[in-house]
C-alpha cells in the first residue's frame, strides 16, 4: 500500500509542471481586453501586435487554435490578442469600427494599424508574418510558386534527396538576395513545365535554424542550384538564369563548361609596370611622374579599365610622354593597399618622387594620356548636399518617435513625405519652406516633413506610394486628407488658410474628353496602353498648369484631325497630380511633358511647338520612320 501511495504521489508531482506550463502557454494570448483604454495602452507599449476580433468564439475555434499555437512560437517577438466582440468587448469593437462576420485578424505596428492579416491561416504562415509583418510574402506562400517543393529544414532536405526517384534540382536561397528574387519567377515557371518529369525544390538557408544546411552543402553564395540524381549530387547548375535554361538543363543534365583561368595581369606583356610590396618604395622614389592603379583581379570595373590603361601606357611610350603607369594587385599586396587606405577598386593615385600627391578619377586611355602630359590636381568635388533637416527653416522634420506626439497637439499640419533624391521633391522643397515661413507666428499651423529613406515604417503606415506625398492632419487623426493642389508657396498658403475649403472646379480646368480621340491614362493602365504597336503620344500634365491648359485644345484637335484623315496614331493624357508612381518612373519634372511610345518603349520627347499643326507633323513623320 505504501509503495502504491508514493507511486501515485510521484505521478501527481510529475504532472504539476505540465499543468503550469499549459497554463502559461494559454496566457501567451491576451484575452481579457474589453476596454478601449486598455487596448490603446497595449498598442502604446507593444510594437508588434496581432489581434483576432471574433463575433463568435464557437465558430472561430479552428483559427483561435492556430492563433494560440502561433503565439507560443513567437513568444518575445510579438503580442497576440483575442477579442470577443459578442461579449464584454462589444463596445470596444464598435469604437474601433470592427464588426467581423465571424472573425478578422488585424495587425498593429508601432501603435498604429498596419494591415489586415492576409496570409494563410496556418501556424507557419502566422509565425512568418509576425517575424516580419511589413516584409514580402514568403516564397512558400506565393500561389505562383505552388509547383516548387518548399523545404523547411535539413532533415526534410536529406529525406527528399534520399527517397526521390525523379531528377531533383535544389535552389538554396536567401530572401534578401537580389539575384534570388530575379530567379524566383523563372524557377517557378520551369517547375510548372517540368511537372511529372523532375522535382524543383527550394530551401531558405538564411533562416538561423538552417545555418547548418549552408555548412553541410557548402553554400557560399546565393542562389546556388544543385542537381541530384538517385540521391547523389551530380552537378552545380551554372547555366542561364531563366526558365528556358533550367528546363534545357533538366532535360539534358551536364557538367558546367570548364572555366578558362585568366592569366594574371602581371604576366601579360604591356608597358604597365606591376609593383609588389618589395619593389613599391624603390620604384616610386625614382619617378618624377607616376600614376598607380590599385585593382582587384575579380573587379569588373578594373577589367574594363585594364585595356584602356595598357593603351595609354603604349601611347605614352610611342609619343615620348614622360612618366610611368604602374599597377598594384591590392588583393595580393595588402600591406601597400592598407598603407594608402584602398577601400574600393580601381583606385588611381598620382605620385612624384615617392610622395603621394592626389587621387585621379580617369578610366579612358585618351584622358589618362592627356593627364600625364600635364599632371594637374583635379578640382575638388562640390560640397556634399546638406540634408533638408539640417537646413535652417520653419519646417519641422519628424521621425517615427516624434510624428504622433507632434501631430496630436496641432490643429493644422501639412506634412510632405519625401525622398532626398526625388526631383519633384527638390522642386517643391523651397516653395514648401517659403509657405512655412508665412505661418511662423501662427501656433495653430505647422508645416512638417518626413524623409522616407530613413523613416520607412512611418511612410508605410501613411500609405506613401510616391514622392512627394503631401497630407493634411488635424490633431493627428481627427481629420486626415491628401493634398492634391499646386506646389507653389501660394498654393500651400491658400490651402492652409482654409484646409476645409473644397474648391469648385471650373469647367475650363477640366479636360473635356467628350467624343474626342484622347485616351486617358493612369498609374494602373499606363504600361498596358503604351505597349500598343500604334505610336502613342502622351501628354503628362497638371490640372493647375497654365501651359497645359493652353495646349489642351491643340492636342485634342491634332488627335481628332489625324483620326479624320485615317492616320493610325494615338494621343493620350496623364494627370501627374493623381498618379505619382508613373510620374516618378518617367522622371516628369515639368508640365506639360510630351513623350512618344511604341510597343511599350520610349522613342522620343516631343520638343516642338504646341500647335496642332506641329503635333500632327511630328506624328506623321514618326509613322513614316516606323514604316
Answer yes or no: are the C-beta atoms of 571 and 518 closer than 8 Å.
Answer: yes
Joined together, the cell numbers standing for residue 536 give 502613342
Answer yes or no: are the C-beta atoms of 329 and 293 closer than 8 Å.
Answer: no
Q: Is 422 annotated as catalytic?
A: yes
- Dihedral angle, C-alpha 357, 358, 360, 361, nearest 10 °: 170
Pairing, β 347-352 against β 290-295: antiparallel
Residue among 52, 85, 93, 422 flagged as catalytic: 422
Answer yes or no: are the C-beta atoms of 170 and 202 closer than 8 Å.
Answer: yes
Answer yes or no: are the C-beta atoms of 562 and 569 closer than 8 Å.
Answer: yes
Which residues on neighbouring strands pair with residue 294, listed in sequence order?
Answer: 328, 347
Q: Is 299 annotated as catalytic?
A: yes
Q: d(Cα 317, Cα 602) in Å, to the nearest integer? A: 46
Joined together, the cell numbers standing for residue 217 give 552543402
Alpha helices in 420-499 (DSSP H): 423-438, 456-461, 489-497
Is the peptide bond prior to 327 cis by the omega test (within 30 degrees of 0)? no
Which residues on neighbouring strands pair with residue 4, listed in sequence order?
Answer: none
Q: d(Cα 47, Cα 108) in Å, to the nearest integer? A: 7
Alpha helices in 135-275 (DSSP H): 154-163, 178-193, 211-216, 243-251
Cα separation of the two ends of the chain:
106
Q: Provide the 3-class DSSP secondary structure of residue 115.
A: strand
- Dihedral angle, C-alpha 512, 513, 519, 521, nearest 10 °: 40
Other Cβ atoms less than 10 A from the Cβ of 348: the count is 20
Q: Provide the 3-class DSSP secondary structure of residue 252.
A: coil
Q: d(Cα 162, Cα 155) in Å, to the nearest integer? A: 11
Q: d(Cα 399, Cα 461) in Å, to the nearest integer? A: 13
Q: Is 425 annotated as catalytic?
A: yes
Residue with cell 471650373: 506
Residue among 52, 85, 180, 425 flagged as catalytic: 425
Q: d(Cα 297, Cα 332) in Å, to the nearest integer? A: 10
Residue among 302, 459, 548, 576 flagged as catalytic: 302
Q: Active-site positions?
A: 299, 302, 422, 425
Amino acid at each position: 500500500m505504501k509503495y502504491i501511495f508514493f507511486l501515485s504521489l510521484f505521478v501527481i508531482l510529475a504532472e504539476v509542471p505540465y499543468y503550469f506550463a499549459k497554463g502559461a502557454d494559454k496566457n501567451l494570448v491576451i484575452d481579457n481586453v474589453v476596454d478601449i483604454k486598455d487596448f490603446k495602452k497595449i498598442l502604446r507599449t507593444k510594437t508588434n501586435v496581432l489581434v483576432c476580433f471574433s463575433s463568435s468564439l464557437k465558430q472561430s475555434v479552428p483559427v483561435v487554435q492556430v492563433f494560440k499555437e502561433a503565439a507560443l512560437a513567437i513568444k518575445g517577438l510579438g503580442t497576440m490578442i483575442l477579442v470577443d466582440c459578442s461579449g464584454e468587448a462589444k463596445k470596444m469593437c464598435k469604437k474601433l469600427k470592427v464588426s467581423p462576420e465571424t472573425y478578422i485578424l488585424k495587425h498593429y505596428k508601432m501603435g498604429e494599424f498596419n494591415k489586415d492579416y492576409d496570409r494563410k491561416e496556418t501556424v507557419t504562415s502566422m509565425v512568418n508574418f509576425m517575424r516580419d509583418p511589413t516584409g514580402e510574402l514568403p516564397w512558400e506562400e506565393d500561389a505562383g510558386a505552388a509547383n516548387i517543393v518548399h523545404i523547411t529544414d535539413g532533415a526534410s532536405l536529406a529525406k527528399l534527396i534520399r527517397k526521390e526517384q525523379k531528377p531533383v534540382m535544389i535552389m538554396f536561397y536567401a530572401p534578401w538576395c537580389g539575384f534570388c528574387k530575379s530567379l524566383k519567377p523563372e524557377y517557378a515557371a520551369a517547375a510548372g513545365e517540368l511537372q511529372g518529369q523532375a522535382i524543383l525544390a527550394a530551401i531558405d538557408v538564411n533562416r538561423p535554424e538552417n545555418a547548418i544546411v549552408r555548412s553541410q552543402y557548402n553554400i557560399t553564395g546565393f542562389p546556388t542550384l544543385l542537381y541530384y540524381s538517385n540521391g547523389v549530387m551530380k552537378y552545380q547548375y551554372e547555366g542561364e538564369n531563366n526558365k528556358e535554361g533550367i528546363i534545357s538543363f533538366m532535360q539534358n543534365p551536364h557538367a558546367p563548361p570548364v572555366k578558362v583561368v585568366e592569366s594574371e595581369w602581371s604576366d601579360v606583356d604591356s608597358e604597365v609596370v606591376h609593383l609588389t610590396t618589395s619593389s613599391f618604395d624603390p620604384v616610386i622614389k625614382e619617378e618624377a611622374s607616376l600614376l598607380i592603379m590599385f585593382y582587384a583581379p575579380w573587379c569588373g570595373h578594373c577589367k574594363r579599365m585594364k585595356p584602356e590603361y595598357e593603351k595609354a601606357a603604349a601611347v605614352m611610350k610611342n609619343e615620348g610622354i614622360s612618366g610611368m603607369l604602374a599597377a598594384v594587385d591590392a588583393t595580393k599586396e595588402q600591406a601597400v593597399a592598407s598603407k594608402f587606405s584602398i577601400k574600393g577598386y580601381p583606385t588611381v593615385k598620382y605620385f612624384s618622387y615617392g610622395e603621394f600627391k592626389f587621387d585621379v578619377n580617369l578610366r579612358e586611355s585618351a584622358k589618362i594620356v592627356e593627364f600625364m602630359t600635364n599632371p594637374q590636381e583635379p578640382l575638388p568635388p562640390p560640397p556634399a548636399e546638406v540634408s533638408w533637416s539640417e537646413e535652417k527653416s520653419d519646417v519641422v522634420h519628424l521621425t517615427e518617435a516624434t510624428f504622433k506626439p507632434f501631430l496630436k497637439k496641432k490643429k493644422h499640419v501639412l506634412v510632405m513625405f519625401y525622398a532626398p533624391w526625388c526631383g519633384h521633391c527638390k522642386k517643391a522643397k523651397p516653395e514648401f519652406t517659403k509657405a512655412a515661413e508665412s505661418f511662423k507666428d501662427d501656433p495653430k499651423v505647422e508645416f512638417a516633413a518626413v524623409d522616407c529613406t530613413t523613416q520607412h515604417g512611418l511612410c508605410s503606415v501613411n500609405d506613401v506610394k510616391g514622392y512627394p506625398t503631401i497630407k493634411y492632419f488635424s490633431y493627428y487623426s481627427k481629420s486626415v486628407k491628401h493634398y492634391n493642389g499646386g506646389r507653389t508657396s501660394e498654393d500651400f498658403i491658400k490651402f492652409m488658410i482654409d484646409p476645409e475649403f473644397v474648391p469648385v472646379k471650373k469647367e475650363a480646368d477640366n479636360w473635356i474628353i467628350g467624343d474626342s480621340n484622347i485616351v486617358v491614362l493612369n498609374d494602373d493602365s499606363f504600361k498596358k496602353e503604351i505597349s500598343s504597336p500604334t505610336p502613342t503620344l502622351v501628354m503628362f500634365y497638371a490640372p493647375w498648369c497654365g501651359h497645359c491648359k493652353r495646349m489642351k485644345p491643340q492636342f485634342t484637335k491634332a488627335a481628332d484631325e489625324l483620326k479624320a484623315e485615317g492616320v493610325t496614331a494615338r494621343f493620350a493624357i496623364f494627370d501627374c497630380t493623381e498618379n505619382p508612381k508613373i510620374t516618378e518612373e518617367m522622371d516628369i519634372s515639368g508640365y506639360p511633358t510630351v513623350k512618344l511610345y511604341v510597343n511599350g518603349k520610349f522613342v522620343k520627347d516631343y520638343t516642338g511647338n504646341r500647335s496642332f499643326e506641329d503635333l500632327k507633323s511630328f506624328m506623321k513623320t514618326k509613322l513614316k520612320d516606323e514604316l
